[in-house]
Amino acid sequence: MTQPLHLGLLGAMPEEIGSDLSHLKNLSCSNHGDLAIHRGSWSDTVRLSLAWSGWGKVSAARAATRLLASDPSIDLLVFTGVAGAADPALRQWDVVLADAVVQHDMDARPLFPRFTLPALNKDRLQPQPAWFHWAKSALLEAHDAGELAGFAKPSNGLIATGDRFIGDPAVLQKLRDALPDLRAVEMEGAAVAQVAEQEGVPWLVLRVISDGADEAAAQSFEDFVRRYEQQAWRLIEALLKRCGDAPPQCG
Ligand code: ADE
């Protein structure tokens, strides 16, 4: 019998996954300092290990490292939650699956070019194509089937991560100038991607737009997150339901 697929799921705040874990069976929890890792089964063929990391790159990297170390059977690490729009075409409830992530505050010039992560000697990190295409198809299929009512049609693109909540159009414009294809900004995804790459585990970053990273961003973010908590699980479920079509697991 094949092993169940084991998904590692992280969000910065409970509101970004939904704090009600009653859809999981055989729930257990382990505490690692102030990080709680919840484990459970979503179905006979899909297991989940999940945690709320807290905000920012250090907290996200720490949670990713702990989660992966807590169980070597994790097949895929997913970071999900909300993001600010960098692409002016994006609106609240738009879903963006990262086809690449970058740490916009990494700058080791003149030793490395701007944005390059010395540990990997790369600026942009890309998810494994098989997992990216699986998630993209799963989200589009769920959207077309009406399972994602309230969310807009999923799209993909570059997501930038940094230890800064962006609520200033001038700051956003500078980022857009440096990264012309930038679609969204957030504070954790590329840190988790870096850990996953270094640990040899496939990863995905999936975000929903909460604000325009402009003067109104803080208020939009707070209002949105309150509403989003009730909807977040449906987005995750769109992936869980389609794990039967997931790329073959190695190991
Ligand atoms: N997450 C959600 N909105 C954000 C913003 N405007 N800046 C950084 N991270 C965010």
**pTM above the 0.75 mark?**
yes
Is the model's pLDDT at 1 over the cut of 60? no
Domain range list for the chain: 5-245
> Given pLDDT bands bounded at 50, 70 and 90, which one contains residue 95?
very high
Select which of 16, 94, 186, 188 is catalytic. 16
Task: Tell me which residue has its CA closest to atom 4 in ligand 1.
Answer: 84
Taking only the tens place, the pLDDT of each residue in 155-209 is: 999 999 999 999 999 999 999 999 999 999 999 999 999 999 999 999 999 999 9
Say which residues have a Cβ less than 8 Å from residue 111's Cβ, sequence separation at least 6: 118
Count of other CB atoms within 10 angstroms of residue 151: 19
5-245 is classed in which CATH architecture? 3-Layer(aba) Sandwich (3.40)
49 membership: H or E segment, kind and range: strand 46-52
Least confident of 11-20, 42-51, 95-104: 11-20
Pocket of ligand 1 (CB under 6 A): 82-84, 165-167, 185-187, 210-211, 213, 217, 221
Task: Report which ligand 1 atom has the smallest distance to the Cα of 213.
Answer: 6
> Given pLDDT bands bounded at 50, 70 and 90, which one contains residue 249?
confident
Q: Specify the pairing of strand 203-211 against strand 95-103.
A: antiparallel
Q: Report which of 194, 199, 232 is spatially closest to residue 101, judged by C-alpha positions.
A: 194
Is the model's pLDDT at 251 over the cut of 50? no
Counting beta carbons within 10 angstroms of the beta carbon of residue 126, is it exposed (0 to 12), middle (13 to 18) or buried (19 or more)?
A: middle
Q: Report which of 195, 181, 218, 169 is spatially closest to residue 60, judged by C-alpha positions.
A: 195
What DSSP character marks residue 248? Answer: P
Taking only the tens place, the pLDDT of each residue in 10-46 is: 999 998 998 889 989 999 999 999 999 999 999 999 9
Q: 83 C-alpha to center of ligand 1: Å?
A: 5
Model pLDDT, residue 20: 85
167 vs 37: CA distance, rounded Å: 31
Select which of 188, 197, 211, 214 is catalytic. 211
Told to judge if 16 belongs to the known catalytic residues of this protein, a careful annotator would answer: yes
Cis preceding linkage at 110, omega within 30: yes
Task: Tell me which residue has its CA closest to atom 9 in ligand 1.
Answer: 186
Q: Report which of 190, 220, 74 is spatially closest to residue 125, judged by C-alpha positions.
A: 190
Is the model's pLDDT at 80 over the cut of 60? yes
